[in-house]
Copies of this chain bind each other. A is one copy, B any other.
Amino acid sequence: VADPAELRVALFGTGFMGRTHSIAYAILPSFFPELPLVRRQVVVDVTEDLARRGAHQFGFAEWTTSWQEAIARSDIDIIDIVTPNDSHEPLANAALAAGKHVLCEKPLALTAAQARAMADQAKQSKGVAMVVFNYRRAPAVVEAKRLIESGAIGRVLTFRGLYLQDWAMPDGTPWSWRFSAERAGSGSLGDIGSHVLDIASFLVGDVVAVAAAAETFVPKRSLPGAAGHAAVDVDDCTIALLRFQGGAIGTLEASRFSHGRKNHLSFEISGTKGALSFNWERSNELNFYSAADSSNVQGFRTIVMGPANPGGDALWPIPGIGTGYIESQVFQVGEFVRAIVHGQEEGSSFAHGFKIQTVMEAIAAAAQNGAWTPVSTDETK
């Protein structure tokens, strides 16, 4: 389409995620100078005002309110979808049909069936399609992966994954699309639990069966800028037991009602030779326990990520500089662009997004039926 040394992106949506993806495109060359430049070409949003403001703030050359127009442009290489969940499928399918590369926010879709259709289409399209799971890009999480693969903690026995927030507490936020099953698919499970499941998949392996409970603590919420209330028909909190392919067992918690936990994506993985733990609220740190240490000095090491850790060559000269959310999105976008250049999809392909969606669907079903529920093993075509 364009100069091979450069790609052009159309951004669909100007919310928080649109903002962070834009920043990632803007500073990508500072981290990965070997990759093609991604020109921030056009922003799409539902009103002129939102689109115009997005273009200004995020450094895009143009804006429009017509997503069809953006997809139709031959000079656009990438469609970046950061809209509410119910629009992921139509937008991604249209973009893939037009031969674009697609980067789509999680969760991939509203249902596993929808996600499967998207993954099928992605397989058949020429564009690279990737779902955003930025947290797994954090150097500490990638170091955890490397240590597990090296055998540093032995065979994994147990997993505990939490994603806890508290912004949705009773006196808090009014109704939004995030509280609607029709628009979001699910509540805490898809919004934040999906990240836990992605990390569980990345670090431990496939989940094969689940038991679960889900609660909606606040059944209706005030409508913003309007009289009256709207019903909440998604989960405020989901908890689950997980059984993994390799024999490990684990727990998952996803809650928007966990006072004091602000963006607490954490995990602990215990194996036969050691253990790893991580908490995004201290995202520069990985905790590692090795039973190979001398018995008098065994303890969790708090490793401050730095040049010796994954991604360290792209990052800062010493550990402890402070790598945050922005860098996680730079790594995410970097992987996406690298996949475009090399013509191969990285780990968080649409097929992977579909797999995560099947686990989510099993958890939601288990919360309803009160029994251990197997995860569907359907494959994409």
Q: Which A residues contact B (CB, under 8 angstroms)?
A: 16, 19, 22-23, 26-27, 29-30, 33, 53, 56-59, 143, 146-147, 152-153, 157-158, 160, 165, 167, 169-170, 211-213, 215, 217, 237, 239-241, 243, 247, 249-251, 253, 255, 257-264, 268, 270-275, 280-291, 293, 295-304, 306, 308-309, 316-328, 370-372
Contacts and interface: CB of A to CB of B under 8 A. Distances in A.
A332 B298 CA distance: 26
Contact of A29 (B56, B297, B371): B56
Contacts of A261: 270, 275, 320
A304 B284 CA distance: 15
A51 to B, nearest CB: 14
A29 B58 CA distance: 7
Contacts of A247: 215
Contacts of A147: 297
Contact of A372 (B160, B211, B264, B295): B211
Contacts of A217: 157, 272
Q: How many copies does the complex hold?
A: 4
Contacts of A16: 316-317
A291 B259 contact: yes
Nearest to A371: B371
Nearest to A323: B324
A299 B288 contact: yes
A165 B301 contact: no
A153 B303 contact: no
B281 A260 contact: no
Nearest to A255: B158
